Structure 1
Amino acid sequence: MKIHFIAIGGSAMHNLALALADKGYEVTGSDDVIFEPSKGRLAAKGILPAEFGWFPNKIHSELDAVILGMHAKADNPELIRAQELGVPMYSYPEFLYEQSKDKTRVVIGGSHGKTTITSMILHVLQYCNIEVDYMVGAQLEGFDRMVHLTTTNDFIVLEGDEYLSSAIDRRPKFHLYQPNIALLSGIAWDHINVFPTFEGYVEQFKIFVDGIVKGGSITYNVEDKTLKAVVESSENTIRKFPYETPEYKVEDGLTLLDTPEGEMPIEIFGKHNLNNLAGAKWICQQMGVDEADFYEAIASFKGASKRMEKIAERGSTVVFKDFAHSPSKVRATTSAVKEQYPDKRLLACLELHTYSSLNAEFLKEYEGALDEADQAVVFYSPDAVRIKGLEEVTESQIRDAFKNQDLKVYTDPSAFQRFLFGKNLDDTALLLMSSGNYGGLDFDQLK
């Protein structure tokens, strides 16, 4: 097959391109800019575009398919040419469904934890030598790519994102996968630029549950009241498996999980991660993994990239980096580090970086999210607010939203770095939460 990618350089898109090239497909692509590591990985496979930009002449009638990335706009010249020629066109999730429609599709969704749960499942399956296809939203230790596709594997494990599929397909990605086995970890309002009301956001999860293949299953976090109501009110003829946080305790900085064989030390920590583990266990068991084998395998799971990632530990100081940015994730991550290191001072630094987090109306959702920290800091860029076309956000608005008048707020990257590197971090757990880099912070300087 001949496949062309419009916006090939994205994290998800380039991984799919590599997977299809490995499968023997003839892959081409375009993008206006491609950064590392995508650039180097595409070059090593011989599918890096010779020059950046959009070239309608790359689109021709002999193509079997064009895959459209989220980065591409509706007026993209290559997209318009493909529409004129009638070349079959797919969004990223549409094409993944086409590649997996004859497989058992396992879809992991939810506002939080889906990357971690998917990663846990893949770790356990690899440990147990069970071959599956997959798509996950983070680079995993022991895996070459984030996407793997074959013609032989029976299962495919898909991380189910609720964001839009493409510039011309406004359906949430996870609506397109039609799962046989599904999991939802929780519902916490997000992506307000697309779903301006909480009710509209929740509706997407109702559609997802109702779209599970008849006779399939939904595994769901029963501790989330909104999710519980969504699942239990669905009239879809599927099996419903609730899960909850298992028993555990923390001793001397080590988390011990309660199992049928007794207490077992594990690498990950935090109530939310133990909750994720319980969901992953249910899914693995539905895929043929014995409970005892699951526990043996999960003991060595260290976490997904950028999720509670320990980047430094020296003396009495420990430093974690986490992708957390939404209110529920910030609250859970901050609480987890405090619980794991109760004798250390917790310095929690949050960058407000996404459209939702920089929205003046949405800010109130962060109330209390940093309360577990001994000292809390928020960084944001006024330029980012302007670029996103949002109303100006003031420092006092942020303090009021978090209900924390002791909150330190920085808008200048240099001032934030002077604060951070000027701190005495003895007996401190430093937590850096961001999907960005605080205006140019070199995380290696903290190692």
Structure 2
Amino acid sequence: MTEKLIIHGGKALRGEVEISGAKNSVLKLMAATLLTGDSIELRNVPHLSDVGVMTQVLKYLGCDVDQQDDDRLYIQAKNITSCEAPYDLVRKMRASFDVLGSLLGRFGEARVALPGGCSIGKRSVDLHVKGLIALGAEVEINHGYVEAKASRLIGAEILLDTPSVGATENIMLAATMAEGATILSNAAQEPEIVDLANFLNAMGADISGAGTNELVINGVKPGSLHGTTYSVMPDRIEAATYLMAGVGTMGDVTVNNVLPVHLSSLTHKLIEMGAEIEMPSPNSIRIHSERRLQAQNIVTQPYPGFPTDLQAPFMTLLSTADGVSIVKETIYENRFKQVGELKRMGADISVERDVAVITGVPHLSGAEVNAHDLRAGAAMVIAGVMAEGSTQVFDLHHLDRGYEDVVSKMRSLGADIERVPDTSGRPVTEESA
């Protein structure tokens, strides 16, 4: 049976919350374990449905995968039985496409289904394919699958047309055991790229430049990567969500187990809006405000710019800020799914293509709303705790993809929130991401 959230809002959130490991990192680390037959221990692994999907993918390929009740995950890719990742698994989560680079890099072949449609846009794999071809692979797209082969990949100089996170990751994974050096220019600079490079280096790879726009991957000998124990970086998007929920309710919230530098684009905007932010420790951020926030304009950009993953929840804050705000989405089309739901709660928002204009209203009002995708789901939870009255949030399977124990974490901050069976018979919306 599907479930829903019931939130009674209008109460200031106060307290501390512990942030889990990053969804956008752990999935890529899991794909990278295919590069060695040795045992890998990942720590700080969140219990998310997306982690479950990637586990299914790895098990299909022949990996032994064991997730403990705590935050540990053990993976061994010693006895791989297939180099094909089928559509019925890849369609569930776009991040599983990263097994393409790992399989090609270690075994010299891979057949991975195209991820297909997605509620936040097309997100083409062209850059992935071009990068692998530059490394010497023969790549064809047949019947909805990317088929890649190479007797030995050769390092190359590769310039990405745009700093694609996924393409950067797949090229990095494939080039790790290529012959010679690969120089990847206009690479993505996201912290999750740094986490992947650090993990690969802990396995014996030779990668430098992660976090800049130029990566240098010096290929190591095939079979030389080894097992390791590695802790996943904190989830900067989850941390940001609780910070925004705190300030949106005029509360006082501290997030622990974070790297504040990863959140600087958000915290700078929140300070400009009137929030007070402190760093109680090197791994904590405290946010509080006793007055309404002021309107603010944002443009989503690749890291270190304002993250597209925070656009939806940030719009919830803007919906009750004093003045008129403008949000421009430059990364993905179709990423204003939250707008209709916020308008149901009383927000004043107009959209023209990739620009949204938000005129702040005195308050939001509780309503029945859908979590149309993962980040829109976060926006609805924030809206629910900010709103007057009761809010019901449906389609929680989207939220479960990226937020661990959201109900218990919100309750620890004083939110009146519960998860109950949904007996409404409403149709469930789907997403591939």
Same fold by TM-score greater than 0.5: no
TM-score by length of 2: 0.31
TM-score by length of 1: 0.30
The structure with higher relative contact order (CA 8 Å, sep 6+) is 2
